Chain A
């Protein structure tokens, strides 16, 4: 079946511009996650959505970062006033959230470059 998809695959933006990154989770998965992968910090958790519950935003690095999930499916990660340190690969993952299934399945990522 179809996996997690993300768009765009690459994004180059100028410092100070806003960007939106999109994630389409696996159909039927109720949980959705965003992670960031950068050379200096490795893989870091950003935000978690589960069903209709309030998201856990504890990993967002600043208030310039926000995310939403519409209709329990597609998610958009928005970075406002981008900075060079935002350059990274942004990975989305989804999973079932049952007692017997904790695997997170990742998309191919969006490589963001801020110039």
Chain B
């Protein structure tokens, strides 16, 4: 079964600092990977996705992620964090074309210090 691991439960960064959130997926021939963000009391908002092609993908709100097959990773990055980025971030895997069940990591809660 597919699995997604987010090693960091909680990360705190200062506003303006860079950010990297880690995500590892279990082996899959065709990973379809996503990052979602959830603000308190809100649903999940799609930040970006990777299906194929360029391994560096750009998303909304200034986020990007890099797919590294050799490391089974899909880490989320942002060069300069804003206070409004404080939220919980979820990495998810669709387990390849034809599948439809998203498998989520446990999430990483991001706190931003002013």
Known: A102-B32, A102-B94. A45 touches B102 (CB 8 A): yes
Interface residues on A, range: 20 to 34
Q: Does A43 contact B (CB under 8 A)?
A: yes
Q: Are B101 and A59 in contact (CB under 8 A)?
A: yes
Q: Are A43 and B34 in contact (CB under 8 A)?
A: no
Chain B residues whose CB sits within 8 angstroms of the CB of A77 once the complex forms: none
Chain B residues whose CB sits within 8 angstroms of the CB of A91 once the complex forms: 43-44
Q: Are A103 and B107 in contact (CB under 8 A)?
A: no
Q: Does B63 contact A (CB under 8 A)?
A: no
8 Å CB contact of B90 from A43, A99, A108, A109: A43
Give the A-B pair count, Cβ closer than 8 A.
51
Q: Are A33 and B100 in contact (CB under 8 A)?
A: yes
Q: Are A43 and B104 in contact (CB under 8 A)?
A: yes
Chain B residues whose CB sits within 8 angstroms of the CB of A104 once the complex forms: 46, 102
Complexed CA–CA distance, A4 and B97 (Å): 23
Contact flags A31-59 to B (C-beta < 8 A → 1, else 0): 10101000000110100101000001001
Q: Are A48 and B100 in contact (CB under 8 A)?
A: yes
8 Å CB contact of B45 from A33, A50, A106: A106
Chain B's closest residue to A111 (CB) is: B41
Chain A residues whose CB sits within 8 angstroms of the CB of B43 once the complex forms: 4, 6, 91, 106-109
8 Å CB contact of A35 from B45, B94, B102: B102
Contact flags A93-107 to B (C-beta < 8 A → 1, else 0): 100010100111111
Given contacts A42-B104, A93-B44, A106-B36, 7 further A-B pairs with CB under 8 A are A43-B90, A43-B104, A45-B103, A50-B100, A59-B101, A103-B46, A104-B46
